[in-house]
Structure 1
Amino acid sequence: MSSRTYKDAIDCLNTLQSNAATLEASRASGGKLVLVAIPETIEYLGRIGYKQEDLNKLNVIHVTGTKGKGSTCAFTDSLLRHAKPEWKVGLFTSPHLVAVRERIRINGAPLPEEDFAKFFFEVWDRLDENTARANPETFLKPMYFKFITLVAFHAFLSLKVDATILEVGVGGTYDCTNVVPTPVVTAISALGIDHTAVLGKTLPEIAWQKGGIYKEGVPALTVDQPEEGLKVLRERAAEKKASEFVVVPMTPGLSEVKLGLSGLHQYQNANLAVHAAKTFLHRVAGITPAAELPDTFKTALEKSRWPGRCQMVQDPKHPNTVWFLDGAHTVESLDCCMQWFVSPDAALRKTGKESRHTRILVFNCTSGRSGSSFLGSMLAKAATQLQLFRSNEVSDELFDHVIFCTNVTYADGGFKGDLTTHAIADSDLAELKTQNDLAAAWRSLVPPFPKDRVHVLPSIEHAVATVRKLESGGPVDVLVAGSLHLVGGTMEVAKLAEVAL
């Protein structure tokens, strides 16, 4: 490979994805494979030239949670950059929406393509050159997420960042980001039943996993949690010998700030970020935290951005269409999504026209999850919101059309390189099983809904094309939810990236 371009890097990265069969084997193991995740990550670090202790140089704020961890990271990133504009601040999050390099940011901007390719292939080559492994069965190269994590560590260390906000991938205890020996501060956003629910995890078990990021001598922060979860987090903090365990109180004046991220639930995430940033700045920069919210923090919170989460985007080329983008993919996050969407700030906004806009729902969720539960909770929340705002509408008629499509990017069955996934079984895609199940669930939940307005489609491009056809009838509001991959693909196909990212 002579060119070593960004595209080359993405092509190589996609070879490291687990296919659907591998993921199923992992689930069948009952989670036993995760037990070796941290030792393997440490070994991979050594093979690319780093000791585990080197990661302490990154000055890490480590964040996990079921919902809101990404938003908390975005708020924290903005707070640190505004408080210390001379600093170089690294941000590592997942997943990406349109381009992989979004996951690794410096001072708010994704790594440029050439920089991503440079750091990517340096890690790739070092793993090729140093093949000695403690366990011969360990893969020569790690799987997708762990490899990107290694690239992020390498990039941040090479660029000598002053601070790093590090978002956990899944869980906490066994997540590969949990190799940092001594973060500056750790923080846990709201707990709930997340992806691990497919393994039958209870809330206390999830809290145990998340609490695994707490470290000896490091402040352990959390938002207020259900008592059964809070009890476990408190015990984990004591077990890990955290320097303090803090259920963060609400910051005076925060409720008066108009946050850059929409949704009432974001105030909890912003509050956690404020406490994490204050603790960090005190420990690293010697800045004594004030009880009140500094003006720099207010500005930072107002200017925070986190694309694809409760985001309203005016279509740049189709002025009658407004996209409402939210990658919500748990019952709890979909509840927050509908609280935002069915409000005067979004779908119920005054448009100056007598008739309301045509509303379209574009939805997908991962195979194996209960589509009926998801869609039912969305309709129930919509009904509550409509009643709250004294609307004459009913939830069964909130949407005029519903579209259930796969996360495949293009109509020819292909993916944009950055959005390629091997985690969907070919049989599921061929039969559109998940999408047909969702359509059946919708018809069961809303029996009067016209059958010809329920669309089951094989790709995001098909979905966007259907939206375009419906635009001829007048102004259109489109809610895209259920999957961040779906939101990212929609940004790509509908050409929203330049205004949405």
Structure 2
Amino acid sequence: MATRSYADAVEKLNSLQSNAATLEALRATGGRMNDLALPEMIEFLERIGYTTADLNRLNVVHVTGTKGKGSTCAFVDSIIRHTKPDWKVGLYTSPHLVAVRERIRINGVPISEEEFAKYFYDVWDRLEQNDKVDATILEVGVGGMYDSTNIVPKPVVTGISALGYDHVNVLGKTLKEIGYQKGGIYKPGVAALTVEQPKEGLESLRLRASEREASEFLIVPPVPGLSEIRLGLSGAHQYHNAALAVHLSRKFFEAKEGTKASETLTPTEIKALESTRWPGRCQTVIDPKYPQTTWFLDGAHTTESLDCCIRWFVSPHVALRHPKSSHPPRVLIFNCTSGRSGPTFLGSMLARAAEQLKLHHSDENALELFDHVIFCTNVTYSSGHFKGDLDSRSIPANELKELKTQHELADAWHSLVPDFPKENIHVLPSVEHAIHVVRSQPEPVDVLVAGSLHLVGGVIEVAGLSDVAL
């Protein structure tokens, strides 16, 4: 009889991934295959004994956006748990960093391997129902209207974080079209929230809220006192996500319990916002085995999110915390997915670094910010294999073998920083190779990992950071 372990469950889950050929076919259709996602999800739901109406019992806070939606979910999760410590609160997000079970958290903790395997096979075998939770924070995977999470008929409240111009460039859509797609999570009779957006995107969201008959459309106002507290998530951009989270949480409690919102932050909200943790986003980690190695982890993968990453990294409490004469060597580990503009990313990062150095009155040269740069694939191990949870079948095998993207990044870096020592530009086939280069540097050393959440997850796995980072 076949085993039914966590590893077996992950293997079966990986078998459902779209491969590179399928994704290419999807691009060729202009994305029309996405129209099938919701009918398929409804069919799957019915096959395991549920209807979409059953999902309303989860008391869903549904969140989408181009950037910041995961952080917003983390803040909402923390606020609700701190406000209702006796509740069971579910959090569903994607993607994961190291283990797929991170996507499903109950009261802030990823479900165990044993629980994941048990419930996975319950679903796989179309068996009995699972227990419900008191509140669920549900992050959209991609888009909104046709995302698989958008089968909840009546969430308690819906929210949209910042829309980004990067998706305009990558997807070939206007900001109006992207706003229209994201606004698909708005529902009849449900409050529709968003943050300040570019005019074109905001008009689209307002139209969608009207079309979808939302109970109200709210551009969340500033939260008095929010700027005065130190959030649990680093980066100036997190204050926008935190503001959205506060208003989402207040709308949730207003709808479920008739609670009137406070005019100022409550002590519980302050504690929740300060206590929020979300790995791989502007995260500083001291290496437990090499305590003089500091990892700066940010899965930023768009021009706008990388801009936030560099603003965080090139700041007095991170890269500039040491005087220029005595700062430790700095290493950049970077990768980006096929189809994204690596040269544009790197050029934008250097330009932003120069602005930040000037802003903080540093006499450092942005072109000399890093002593080594490493461009590696997201393949986990030097053997050429992925950790099961990090397996990606969406990258063409020949592209991985030839390191096409990584060589393009290295060429771009050399073009942008022509005087950078060639021997310090590393093109490597795996995350494990990259870790070997870092380990070979004399300590202390600072390492910025950016460009891909999967890359960050691979670094956490190979460098042995899970216990302190997750």
**Shorter-chain TM-score range:** over 0.9
Corresponding residue of 2:260: 288
191, 214, 225: which one aligns with 1:219: 191
SS where residue 193 of structure 2 aligns? strand
| Residue number in structure 1 paired with 2:330 | 359
Cα deviation for residue 350 of structure 1 reads: 3.2
Could you give the per-residue CA deviations for residues 213-272 of structure 1, whole angstroms, max 9, x where no partner exists?
000000000000011110110000000000000000011111111100000100000000
Partner of 1:487: 456
Q: Which residue of 1 aligns with 2:385?
A: 414
Identity of aligned residues (%): 67
Superposed, 1:346-385 pairs within 5 Å as 346-350=318-322, 354-385=325-356
Question: In the alignment, residue 354 of structure 2 is paired with which amino acid?
Answer: A
1:429 pairs with 400, 404, 421, which one? 400
Cα distance 1:195–1:459, how it changes in 2: closer, same or farther (>3 A)? farther
2:227 matches 1:261: no
Looking at structure 2, the residues matched to 187 and 97 of structure 1 have their Cα atoms a distance apart, in angstroms, of: 24
- Indicate whether 1:229 and 2:201 are aligned: yes
8 A contact 2:167–2:173 mirrored in 1: no
2:125 maps to amino acid = D
What SS does the corresponding residue of 1:159 show, helix, strand or coil?
coil
Equivalent positions of 1:25-424 (< 5 A) are 25-126=25-126, 158-195=130-167, 197-350=169-322, 354-424=325-395
Runs of 5+ consecutive residues of structure 2 not aligned to the other structure:
none
- How many angstroms does 1:195 deviate by? 5.0
Task: Encode CA deviations 1:387-438: one digit per residue, 9 max, x unaligned.
Answer: 0001010111111110000000000001111111111111101100000001
Residue 496 (structure 1) aligned with residue 468 (structure 2): no
CA contact (8 A) 1:193 1:330 kept: no
> In structure 2, do the counterparts of structure 1 residues 232 and 266 end up closer, same or farther at CA, with 3 Å as the change threshold?
same
Name which of 415, 418, 426 aligns with 1:444.
Answer: 415
Q: Secondary structure at the match of 1:415?
A: coil
Structure 1 distance, partners of 2:253, 2:287, is 39
Q: Distance in 1 between matches of 2:225 and 2:360?
A: 26
Quote the Cα distance in structure 2 between the aligned partners of 1:340 and 1:65: 21
TM-score, reference length from structure 2:
0.98
Residue of structure 2 equivalent to 1:475: 444
Gaps of 5+ in 1: 128-153
Kindly indicate whether the alpha-carbon contact (under 8 Å) linking 1:220 and 1:245 is maintained by their aligned counterparts in 2.
yes
> Matches of 1:174 and 1:424 in 2, distance apart?
23
**Could you list the per-position Cα deviations for residues 273-322 of structure 1 after superposition, in whole angstroms to 9, with x for gaps in the alignment?**
00000000111122211111000000000000000000000111112110
In structure 1, C-alpha distance between the alignment counterparts of 2:84 and 2:440, rounded to whole Å: 49
CA distance in 2, matches of 1:198, 1:254: 33
Measure the CA separation in 2 of the matches of 1:487 and 1:280.
Answer: 33
Q: Tell me the TM-score normalised to structure 1 length.
A: 0.92
In the alignment, the residues of structure 2 paired with residue 199 and residue 274 of structure 1 have an alpha-carbon distance, to the nearest angstrom, of: 31
Which letter maps to 1:76?
V
Q: Which moved more, 1:87-96 or 1:28-37?
A: 28-37
Query: Once the 2 structures are TM-superposed, how far is the Cα of residue 448 of structure 1 from its aligned partner?
Result: 1.2
Alpha-carbon separation, structure 2, partners of 1:203 and 1:443:
33
The answer on whether the counterparts of 2:193 and 2:220 sit within 8 Å (CA) in structure 1 is yes
Matched, 1:457 2:428: yes
Distance 2:166 2:90 in 1: 27
Partner Cα distance (2:317, 2:163) in 1: 27
Deviations, residues 17-74 of structure 1 (Å, cap 9, x unaligned): 1111111111111111011211111111111111111110110000000000000000
- The equivalent of 1:149 in structure 2 is none
1:337-395 CA distance string (max 9 Å, x none): 000000011101137x9511100000000011111110011001100000000101011
- In 2: Cα distance, 1:302 partner to 1:198 partner: 34
Distance in structure 2 (CA, Å) of the matches to 1:495 and 1:452: 27
- Name whichever of 71-80 and 447-456 sits farther off: 447-456
* Correspondence for 1:17: 17
Question: What's the secondary structure of 2:307's corresponding residue?
Answer: helix
Structure 2 distance, partners of 1:433, 1:10, is 29
Q: Distance in 1 between matches of 2:208 and 2:351?
A: 36
Cα drift, residue 2 of structure 1? 3.9
Q: Is contact 1:30–1:199 with CA below 8 Å preserved after alignment? A: no
SS, match of residue 385 in structure 1 = helix
Contact 2:60 2:136 (C-alpha < 8 Å) held by counterparts: yes
Letter of the structure 1 residue corresponding to residue 96 of structure 2: H
The secondary structure found in structure 1 opposite 2:300 is coil
Q: Which amino acid aligns with 2:211?
A: E
